[in-house]
Structure 1
Amino acid sequence: MDKPLRYSLHAETVMRERKLDPAWIEATVRAPEWRLSDPSGPEVERRYRAIEALDGRILRVVCVEASDEVRIISAFIDRGARKPA
């Protein structure tokens, strides 16, 4: 069973402002094309996925996965993101 997603106030705000579909966020969290650690701390992770509806641009979702939930901290289109080789 998939863990529930919990959105920070910041994440909810930027999703609305940037017109990011919650389905894109969920797909990126649950099935990222790649992941990287976030420099802010070892528990924080960046998850990336190309979004076809956005002409393949890369969505970055910053989150923390706990034993009972995934907390979404932020999300945005990352113009500089490149999939690691």
Structure 2
Amino acid sequence: MEKPIAYTEHAKVAMSERGLDPEWVEASVRNPQWVEADPDDPEVVRHFRSVPEHGGRYLRVALVETVAEFRILSAFFDRRARPK
């Protein structure tokens, strides 16, 4: 069974305002191209994945992973993101 994905209220609003498809976010969470630690919060990780439907731009998803779920904090297209 796959771990469920939960969205904070901020993430829901950000995704709506930015026109982000939940499928893009889920793909980034479950199959990231790369992962980085958040420099400001050791509990937060950033998952990155290119989105072909959006010109190949990289979607950054900030999340906290627990044993029970992935909790999405925010998501946006990161203009500075480059694969490692």
| Percentage of pairs with the same residue | 51
The Cα of 1:39 is off from its aligned counterpart by 1.5
Q: Which has the higher strand share?
A: 1
What's the C-alpha RMSD, in Å, of the aligned pairs? Answer: 0.6
In structure 1, runs of 5+ residues without a counterpart are none
Q: Normalized against structure 2, the TM-score is what?
A: 0.97
In structure 2, runs of 5+ residues without a counterpart are none
May I ask how many residue pairs the two structures share in their alignment? 84
| Mean CA deviation greater in 17-26 or 38-47 | 38-47
Paired AA for residue 54 in structure 2: L
Aligned to 1:53: 53
Q: Normalized against structure 1, the TM-score is what?
A: 0.96
Runs of 4+ in 1 over 2 A off after TM superposition: none
Aligned to 1:73: 73
